[in-house]
Amino acid sequence: MVVQQLPNELLEQILIYSDLQTIARFRRVSKRFNQVVAASITVQYKLELEIDCLEDAPSQAMAVGDRLLTLEKYRASWTRRSLPFTKKRVLLRNIDHINASCSGEYCAFLNAQRHLEVHRKSPAGTQTPEGALWSITDLRIPTGIERIHAFWIDHKENLLAILVWRDNDGCIVYLRDWVSGDDHPQANFPILRLSRPGAIPNGAHSEKELLYVRLVRPLRKTTCMIFNWKSGDRLLSISSATCMSLYQLSTRYLLIAHDTRTAPFTLSIIDFDATKTNKDRTVNILRVKKVCQLTFPEKRGNFCASITNIIDWRPQRTLQEQSIPFSPRDGIIIISAEYTDVGRISEYPTCLVSCSTLLNLIELARENGRDVLAWEEWGPPNTRLWNMVVGFTGHLGFFGMRGFVFHNRVDQLQGWSQTFLDISLYDFGKIGVRKHREDMAAGLADPRVYMSESSRYGGIVIFKDRNLTTRLPARVMYLTLPI
């Protein structure tokens, strides 16, 4: 076997560089790495193919050292969020990667001395920015990368928010005008103290008047605190012991994608107005009550991934499908999950949901007296949330069984200097077909059941068989190109 031909040091490097749960498929690893494999959560099908080369046979076209460099290159191109069990040293490593945040004609970034400076963008055709308008030394807070966790700009509000982590004071947010560096004139409380010592910051961002700050508390518990940064009021505190992603659908509704301990991941939608009657305004998403459960129809016949129109909130009613899922002006939410069938194969379904569909579903639930709506999305019990990409405005196209998505983004690590094109390739049925054929060859599948690849999108046949777990498209490739 190949694993016996590799030194332990090299095998350990492969585990470190890949950092994938899909490496659990590499079943012949040394037992002392099982804990590392079990703790990995990031999934990438492209890298699974690299692992296959080591599992099945050594590649003749690429040396082992070159494969390791390839794995490192793919991993460096990802954008990840720190998860609840992330250790402090990993958080500090991620902090060190925060270089710039740009919006409008201004940019904030850390200089060589790790001091925060605010600049105007460089004129067209030049490579260096203009002189600093002001720096963090003008603020009344300590300097140094170990103190600054994150900062971000909201150009519509002329807001520069700085998240500081103090050992003695916990997490503090400073709200400043990015042009002058003074306290923001619209903030009643320009200094917000968010937590007591012991909580580690795990990211922050703002949406209009709302400020979201993620904290990691002891016992691997993640908390997201939501503030109105203009009034200084705390609106909501959401706690979870598992992976969690947030997206503000509207000024009233908040979408939460999270895991549960006993079921596949759930989409929960919280009404801000419903929290006004709660004195402490705290919701634990693992104990949400007043839930309206929605499920997909039976997994049989033609099933076009998650592209459906909800025409009734009651689960016993049929859901209507359509071939053109989203209009160009409708926002798309991309939710990725992972599922590992122990001893067999890993699958990585992706849910593509339009914002208007969710908002319509919320209104239907409100008509039936529901305050919080939870949507059981897909997958067997081993399905877990990976991440959620929101605010998507790119292009979605299909070619046979393959779907592709691409959109432009500005690289936050390089600031204003580079724009990238992100391309994702989705497989709408090939994994399920391949697995069914493997079951047929092994004599495990019903010979009366036939499953074939279709030449057109929408003709995917999915059966209600526990061995056929592919229900949604899987992201098989992710590519970032500078433009």
Fold of 88-241: Methylamine Dehydrogenase; Chain H (2.130.10)
Instruction: Tell me the pLDDT tens digit for each residue of 368-392.
Output: 655 555 554 444 555 566 666 654 4
pTM of the model: 0.50
- Considering only 153-157, 216-220, 475-479, which range has the smallest mean pLDDT? 475-479
Q: Which residues contact 377 (CB under 8 A, 6 or more apart)?
A: 264, 265, 266, 267, 306, 335, 337, 351
Rounded-to-integer distance, Cα 218 and Cα 277, Å: 29
- Considering only 3-7, 186-190, 353-357, which range has the smallest mean pLDDT? 3-7
Rounded-to-integer distance, Cα 181 and Cα 194, Å: 21
Rounded-to-integer distance, Cα 364 and Cα 354, Å: 16
As given in the structure block, the two tokens for residue 99 are: 């270089």
Instruction: Please give the average per-residue pLDDT across 186-194, as a whole number.
Output: 80
Amino acid at 181: G
Residue 363 has pLDDT above 50, yes or no: yes
Residue 173 has pLDDT above 80, yes or no: yes
Residue 302 has pLDDT above 80, yes or no: no
Rounded-to-integer distance, Cα 22 and Cα 45, Å: 8
| Contact status, residue 131 vs residue 119, Cβ threshold 8 Å | yes
Q: Domain residue spans in the chain?
A: 2-76, 88-241, 291-482
- Considering only 109-123, 306-320, 397-411, 446-460, which range has the smallest mean pLDDT? 306-320
Residue 174 has pLDDT above 70, yes or no: yes
As given in the structure block, the two tokens for residue 239 are: 């706690």
Residues constituting the chain: 483
For residue 430, the tally of other CB atoms under 10 A from its CB is 16
Residue 283: HSE in the Cβ half-sphere, 13 Å Cα cutoff: 24
Q: Which residues contact 312 (CB under 8 A, 6 or more apart)?
A: 364
Rounded-to-integer distance, Cα 86 and Cα 83, Å: 5
| Contact status, residue 283 vs residue 238, Cβ threshold 8 Å | yes
For residue 257, the tally of other CB atoms under 10 A from its CB is 25
Give the residue with greater pLDDT, 286 vs 141: 141
As given in the structure block, the two tokens for residue 336 are: 């990725």
Q: Which of 96-105, 144-153, 464-473 has the highest mean pLDDT?
A: 144-153
Residue 185 has pLDDT above 70, yes or no: yes
Instruction: Please give the average per-residue pLDDT across 335-347, as a whole number.
Output: 57
Strands 200-207 and 210-217: antiparallel
Task: Give the model's pLDDT for residue 411.
Answer: 43
- Considering only 175-179, 229-233, 302-306, 452-456, which range has the smallest mean pLDDT? 302-306
Can you list the pairs that 446-453 forms with residues at least 24 positions away whose Cβ atoms lie under 8 Å?
A: 453/401, 453/429
> Helical H runs in 169-246?
none
| Contact status, residue 331 vs residue 393, Cβ threshold 8 Å | yes
Rounded-to-integer distance, Cα 132 and Cα 134, Å: 5
- Average model confidence (pLDDT) across the chain: 55
Q: What DSSP character marks residue 141?
A: S
Task: Give the model's pLDDT for residue 471.
Answer: 39
Give the percent of the chain with pLDDT over 70. Answer: 21
Instruction: Please give the average per-residue pLDDT across 331-352, as a whole number.
Output: 59
Rounded-to-integer distance, Cα 355 and Cα 357, Å: 5
Give the residue with greater pLDDT, 172 vs 170: 172
Q: Which of 329-333, 391-395, 417-421 has the highest mean pLDDT?
A: 329-333
Residue 294's pLDDT band, with cuts at 50, 70 and 90, is very low
Residue 114's pLDDT band, with cuts at 50, 70 and 90, is low
Q: Which residues contact 78 (CB under 8 A, 6 or more apart)?
A: 42, 44, 478
Measure CA of the first residue to CA of the last residue in the chain; give whole Å. 43
Task: Give the model's pLDDT for residue 301.
Answer: 31
